Structure 1
Amino acid sequence: MRRRFVIEAVMVATYGHLLVPSRPVDFVLPYSTIMELYEMKEGTDPVMDDPEDNEHVKLKIAELIGFFEDPFNRKKIERALQMPWRESSPLLLSDTIQFTVVHAIDNAHYGDYFDPIETELLLTSLKLNVPLLSDQFEFQDRLIEAEVPVQVYDIEDYEFAVEEGIASTDM
């Protein structure tokens, strides 16, 4: 059975180890996080502090954009964008990695605590009952402070989340 995680598209490009899991994984991406990839690719602001790392991540971002722009994948994404909260058909990257794109809608319910992308991530997690995967400690802290009922894993705990995870009934 595939493990599912809501995640930002840029994290997939930034953390290469996410693409070599020990079990099959489905990364659920709000569409707006895919659009962020274009901004990061074209932007002058560095994604990473180290120039070599930054160049490597920008290359990975371009590769990921190419994957989503593939006509077959693009068609699946466009179908999902026809209705709010619709999920795309699986976009297969490999035998162990697939993406599901969600047309998430920011309803401003958590607008006081979170920016629009963060809100879409947590609403997607809530709506689909899928854990969040994040590398942002501040975001994780605000989730706890706002008492948002989502399960969140730090990027450092990715292998644990894939292998064992924590059942939502145990929370």
Structure 2
Amino acid sequence: MTHLYITAPQPDDVHELLAFEQENRVFFEASINARPAAYYCAEGVAEAIAQARQDAEADRGYQFLIRENSQLVGRINLHRVQRAYFNCAELGYRVGARFNGRGIAKAAVEQVRQRAFGELQLSRIEANARPENLGSVRVLEASGFSRYGHSRRSFLLHGQWFDRLHYECHGPLQH
């Protein structure tokens, strides 16, 4: 891995993002719920990018593309931003199949943590991982997240219930 960085999706990313999602669709849908079929066209991705920009402007969520030497290799986001009383968000990420196992997710999580606890002034980030997703568990634990819970049969995928591990990470105390 040489130069890894995160950027908010822009309207001119539509075709590259669509190609990335189509290339990795089967891989992603093996472990997370499928996106609606309408997403997998230029108009669907353009709408998703527009929605991501609206969410960021309204402080509801922040999506980023993960790039390595300008090549799109994954996505990472902070969603479900809650400001009043909680000042937290939930982390999600996905790295393309051919880029797994190279430290990309860990590096992207660190960049999102810095942004979340810096310019976004969040106090806490939450994340979930299935126990059998050892790669994701390792990323979270190596990135300073602590496990605080285990919910049983809480995630339905392909007609089967799965457990989830719950993680949290705290930024510096702010008054």
More helix by share: 1
Q: TM-score, normalised by structure 2?
A: 0.31
The higher-RCO structure (CA 8 Å, 6+ apart) is 1
Q: TM-score, normalised by structure 1?
A: 0.31
More strand by share: 2
